[in-house]
């Protein structure tokens, strides 16, 4: 076979020989004018291809995609079996009216007496939350009703907080940067940075985001709010930018788990094509007000890959997340089981090629029309990389996707939920010289995206729940990854995590009491 590497079949991988290796990216860190000049070079016809080829060689991309024999057949979109019925859940009618599903979802929530609330605000910072339906109202802790999926409520955003359509590390439009409500000089996380920022800052109770590479969970973690990425195919993507993609979904961002449940119940619904190809299990919610739900919580097995879990920029992150796991065992009996996840590097590469190819497919027509000059320089560096992928690279990535799916489905034979920090670092600082032309720092991107790839590449549901703050007062998120169609399990667990967080949520530096009672 010459220089080619031949991988053993996925079912023959010896987990006892798997060694965790932290990922180090070989790429320049640039901001400001140097980034602008760099983009001019990589977009040049000859020198650009040489630079990209060198970077790919440094990061061992070509070897895996072109010099490796992968025995598995390609999997061009997630494939998984239906979920077995879960205890303590309430089924939702996928074809019913959104408002009917929301009414049923309200009955799944614990009883709440609004009269005990003296000063409700949004989000849930030491006080219960208000709600919104076509106008701002004060109604207690949770959303009492939510509009149908097509609703829109427009705010005049304060320029100090929100001045840009996205954010680092995956922004598209070349505009100003969304600021983190907790620290004005720090990033909000991308790419659904605006929705996370407006929820965290009190401008609304809930918003929608899209998640193709952690784009709901990352900004939710960095802003201290809750973000749900649903199972691939659980929500209809028609009308979104990547509506024909295989890694991206639409999902809710809200100030607490209960509000996420209500918005999720309103927007769910598989497309006709996905119902045929994916055979989704009927959607359901955990009945948080029943004793059966409490029993179901206690039986959950949590999978933790310790070396990966602890690979974080600050030990504040792993310690906060570990504390919650200890409390889940102490208060509810949730057992943590050690697991090993092989081929993490291969998983990241397969995701990069998949989301890169799908993003390129969407953006190419506009780029051909000369609109690429409106993109951020960071995005243009990514597009230069994506354009270097070949058809054979894409097929190889989908073969890797099938391998990684096998490994994870084997893990889900032993555990119900995989637990990780949401991000490997808290909100990074915005360098002053990045304000005009932007920044590219792929090592920071890796730190932010370290734990979020599997749900996108493999289509699993996942949720980020705030669990405290680091020593700088920046929010930390815990990620819960569930089985396919297992939204009820991770929502049940997320609600328990939220209740166990003894540390009260702190109001961000930038906060607007739009729902404060007169």
Domains of the chain in start order, with CATH, are: 89-112+127-500 (3.90.1300.10)
Looking at residue 258, its pLDDT comes to 96
DSSP string spanning 175-186? SPPPEETTEEEE
DSSP 289: T
Looking at residue 152, its pLDDT comes to 29
What distance lies between CA 466 and its chain's CA centroid?
13
CA–CA distance, 255 with 266 (Å, rounded to integer): 17
CA–CA distance, 194 with 223 (Å, rounded to integer): 10
CA–CA distance, 409 with 160 (Å, rounded to integer): 45
pLDDT in tens, the chain (518 residues): 467 899 999 999 999 999 999 988 999 999 999 999 999 999 999 999 999 999 999 998 988 999 999 999 999 999 999 898 888 999 999 999 999 999 999 999 988 765 555 433 445 555 333 333 332 222 233 443 333 332 222 223 333 343 337 333 343 344 568 899 999 999 999 889 999 999 999 999 999 999 999 999 999 999 999 999 999 999 998 877 777 799 999 999 999 999 999 999 999 999 999 999 999 999 999 999 887 777 889 999 999 999 999 999 999 999 999 999 999 999 999 999 999 999 999 999 999 999 999 999 988 898 888 888 888 899 999 999 999 999 999 999 999 999 999 999 999 999 999 999 999 999 999 999 888 888 999 999 999 999 999 999 999 999 999 999 999 999 999 999 999 999 999 999 999 999 999 778 889 999 998 766 55
What distance lies between CA 231 and its chain's CA centroid?
12
Looking at residue 43, its pLDDT comes to 95
> Where are any strands of DSSP class E within 53-130?
68-69, 89-91
- The contacts of residue 390 (CB under 8 Å, 6+ apart) are none
Residue 247: helix, strand or coil by DSSP?
coil
Looking at residue 116, its pLDDT comes to 54
> Where are any strands of DSSP class E within 156-248?
179-180, 183-187, 206-211, 226-229
Give Cα separations from 222 to 329, 424, 475 (angstroms).
26, 11, 6
Give Cα separations from 118 to 98, 136, 217, 499, 501 (angstroms).
31, 17, 31, 20, 22
CA-based nearest residue to 376, from 187, 111, 144, 177 = 177
Looking at residue 151, its pLDDT comes to 29
Looking at residue 503, its pLDDT comes to 75
Residue with tokens 């030990």: 315
Looking at residue 373, its pLDDT comes to 87
Looking at residue 354, its pLDDT comes to 97
CA-based nearest residue to 222, from 173, 187, 257, 248 = 187
Looking at residue 118, its pLDDT comes to 40
Strand-pair category, 89-91 with 30-31: unpaired
DSSP 64: H
Quick count: other Cβ atoms within 10 Å of Cβ 239?
9
């Amino acid at each position: 076979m010459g220089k080619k590497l031949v991988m053993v079949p996925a079912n023959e991988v010896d987990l006892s020989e798997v060694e965790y290796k932290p990922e180090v990216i070989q790429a320049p860190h640039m901001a400001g004018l140097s980034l602008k000049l760099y983009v001019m070079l990589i977009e040049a016809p000859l020198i650009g291809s040489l630079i990209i080829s060198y970077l790919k060689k440094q990061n061992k991309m070509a070897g895996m995609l072109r010099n490796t024999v992968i025995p598995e057949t390609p999997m061009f979109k997630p494939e998984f079996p239906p979920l077995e019925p879960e205890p303590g859940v309430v089924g939702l009618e996928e074809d019913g009216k959104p408002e009917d599903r929301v009414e049923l979802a309200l009955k799944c929530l614990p009883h709440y007496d609004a009269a005990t609330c003296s000063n409700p605000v949004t989000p849930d910072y030491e006080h219960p939350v208000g709600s919104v339906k076509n106008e701002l109202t004060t109604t207690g802790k949770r959303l009492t009703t939510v509009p149908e999926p097509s609703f829109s409520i427009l705010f005049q955003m304060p320029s100090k907080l929100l001045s840009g359509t996205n954010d680092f590390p995956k922004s598209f439009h070349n505009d100003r940067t969304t600021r983190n409500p907790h620290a004005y000089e720090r990033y909000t996380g991308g790419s659904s940075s605006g929705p996370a920022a407006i929820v965290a800052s009190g401008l609304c109770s809930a918003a929608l985001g899209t998640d193709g590479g952690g784009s709901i969970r990352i900004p939710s973690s960095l802003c201290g709010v809750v973000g749900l990425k649903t199972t691939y195919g659980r929500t209809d993507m028609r009308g979104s930018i990547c509506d024909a993609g295989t890694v991206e979904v639409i999902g809710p961002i809200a100030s607490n788990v209960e509000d996420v449940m209500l918005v999720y119940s309103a927007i769910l619904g598989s497309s006709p094509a996905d119902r045929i190809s994916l055979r989704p299990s009927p959607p359901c919610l955990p009945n948080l007000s029943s004793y059966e739900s409490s029993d179901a919580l206690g039986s959950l097995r949590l999978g933790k890959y310790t070396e990966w879990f602890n690979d974080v920029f600050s030990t504040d992150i792993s310690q906060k997340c570990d504390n919650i796991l200890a409390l889940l065992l102490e208060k509810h009996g949730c057992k943590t089981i050690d697991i090993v996840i092989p081929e993490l590097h291969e998983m990241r590469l397969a995701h990069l090629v998949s989301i890169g190819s799908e993003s390129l497919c969407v953006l190419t027509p506009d780029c051909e029309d000369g609109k690429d000059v409106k993109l951020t320089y960071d995005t243009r560096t990514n597009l230069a990389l994506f354009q270097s992928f070949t058809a054979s690279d894409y097929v190889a990535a989908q073969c890797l996707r099938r391998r990684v799916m096998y490994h994870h489905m084997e893990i889900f034979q032993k555990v119900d939920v995989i637990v990780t920090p949401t991000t490997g670092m808290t909100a990074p600082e915005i360098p002053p010289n990045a304000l005009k032309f932007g920044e590219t720092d792929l090592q920071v991107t890796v730190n932010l995206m370290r734990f979020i790839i599997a749900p996108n590449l493999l289509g699993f549901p996942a949720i980020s729940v705030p669990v405290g703050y680091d020593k700088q007062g920046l929010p930390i998120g815990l990620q819960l990854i569930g089985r396919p169609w297992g939204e009820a399990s991770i929502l049940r667990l997320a609600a328990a995590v939220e209740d166990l967080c003894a540390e009260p949520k702190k109001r961000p530096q930038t906060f607007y009491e739009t729902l404060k009672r007169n």
